[in-house]
Every structure is written in C-alpha cells, then in structure tokens.
Amino acid sequence: MLQFEKTSIKDVFVITPKVFGDERGYFMETFSEQDFKNQGLNYTFVQDNQSSSRKGVLRGLHFQKSHPQAKLVRVLKGEVFDVAVDLRKNSETYGKYVGVLLSEENKKQLLIPRGFAHGFLVVSDYAEFAYKCDDFYHPEDEGGIRFDDSDVAISWPEVDCPLILSEKDKLHPTLKESKMVFDQEGEK
C-alpha cells in the first residue's frame, strides 16, 4: 500500500511505501497500478532508468520538448535533493518548484507529471537513483533550464564540495530564455 501526499504544486506527489521489516531485512512495494488508479493517477510507465553519482553531482534541470515524460523517482542508495519545476503555461504555479529529500532511509518517491523540468543534487557521499518514465527517451528532444535560475530560485542544500555538472547542464538557458511551456496536460 502506497501513501500519497500532495505537495504545494498540483499533480506532484510524495509517495511513501509501506515497509515490512524483520531480522532478514525489509520488503516494500514501490509501484502499484491499482494504488495509482485509486488516486485518479493513470500512468503507463514504459522505461526504467538508473544512475549513480557522487556527492556534489547536480543533474538537471531536464525535460523533453516534444515527448514530455512523467517520472516516478526514488533513491536506492544514499540521499539526494530532488526538484520538479512546473513548466505548464496556465498553471498557477508556473516557474515554481517542489524540492524533496529522497533517501534509502526514508524510501520516499516523487511523482512528477508531464510538463515539468526535473533535476537532483547528491548530498550523500554516493547515491544510486532510479526512475520510471511514461515515455521513451529521445536524445534529439532534450531540453533544460539552468539549475541556478534566479527567477525559479531553488534553495539547493549546501554540500561541502564543489558542484559537479555536465558540460551540457552548464549551458542550459534560464526559464525566460528557454521560453519553454507545456499545456496543462504537460504537452508542448
């Protein structure tokens, strides 16, 4: 049984699984189509991805332009600060973000619908990150906005090392420069 918690942005949920533990370890269900449908959430996930990163790695803020993806993200090892930025043009929260600490201890997940930019910062020494997507990755369709865009004003946690970004992530435009907007369903 999954517990769904609304966030400050409509359609973004923090999801906490019920964990069954004993002397052997633990068991938990990380996705249940029935639990999602009971919440009115109808997603068909078609791709699972996993990455590993060291402390200070900041990935994002990413989206796909013509093939937007909803994502269900979680941490297998370590801890990250995960962020979703609303890019839906008619949304009351356009340009606002939700930021959540996800870790192997709290086992929380973040459900990010289509129409959002997504990124995360590794705050532990090492992290393994996994996520489901409801559309396939299209490399030619990549987009992004700057992680430090002053209009979005993400309050990233402090880490005791320099931030590590890909060359591509260093070159993303601001939200205003990108002029990227999706409709309410997350479509361009």
pLDDT number for residue 188? 56
b/e per residue, 104-139, with b = 16+ CB within 10 A?
eeebbbbbbbbbbbbbbbbbbeebbbbbbbbbeeee
Residue 26: inside a domain: no
Residue 87: inside a domain: yes
Residue 34: inside a domain: no
Structural contact between residues 129 and 58, judged by C-beta atoms closer than 8 angstroms:
no
pLDDT number for residue 180? 83
* pTM of the shown model: 0.95
The CATH code of the domain that includes 149 is 2.60.120.10
Q: Is pLDDT at 41 greater than 90 in this prediction? A: yes
Reported as a single tens digit per residue, the pLDDT across 17-37 is: 999 999 999 999 999 999 999
Number of domains in the chain: 1
Residue 55: inside a domain: yes
Residue 36: inside a domain: no
Residue 40: inside a domain: no
Cα–Cα distance list, 76 to 41, 52, 122, 155 (Å): 24, 10, 12, 23
Helix (H) / strand (E) containing 105: none
Catalytic residues: 62, 131
Domain with 143 in it: 46-178
